[in-house]
Amino acid sequence: MSRLEIKTNPDPILREKAKKISEITPEIKRLILDMAETMKKANGIGLAAPQIGQSIRLCVINTEKGHLALINPTITWKSLRKENEEEGCLSVPGIFKPVKRSKIIYVKALNQDNKEIKFRASGLFARVIQHEVDHLDGVLITDKK
């Protein structure tokens, strides 16, 4: 596994709408491992592919059970109820600001074995996923109210 360089604001790749992944190739699987390693070394709890210079819809999330890879994730439902909590971002060093996010979300994605996964997320887990999906749409915490 190798550690990848994390792109920081104002790198234009962070502003692109990332492309859907059409096939989970060995390169994608390798990238997932490298992203997981990069996230761990940087003490991050989530990392999206645009942050390491790949404009594709992939992110990794740190969970109690290890890293979770989400390919082409979509948030299929989000609660109207929101929470305002401080967030940081590896691509926006030195900035921490409160961001309003839905408390509960439902997520649909592919995992690295090309299987569709659907699950409910709440609290910090839901927050991290919303943050990473924002990255796939070119949105940074500095854009949030």
Q: Which residues are catalytic?
A: 132
Any contact of residue 89 with Zn ion (CB under 5 A)? yes
Q: How far is the CB of 44 from Zn ion (least distance, A)?
A: 8
Contact pattern for Zn ion over residues 30 through 69, marking x by CB under 5 A: ----------------------------------------
Q: What b/e string do you get for 34-60 counting C-beta neighbours within 10 Å, with b at 16 or more? A: bbbbbbbeeebbbbbbbbbebebbbbb
Q: Which is nearer to Zn ion, 39 or 89 (CB)?
A: 89
Q: Which is nearer to Zn ion, 51 or 102 (CB)?
A: 51
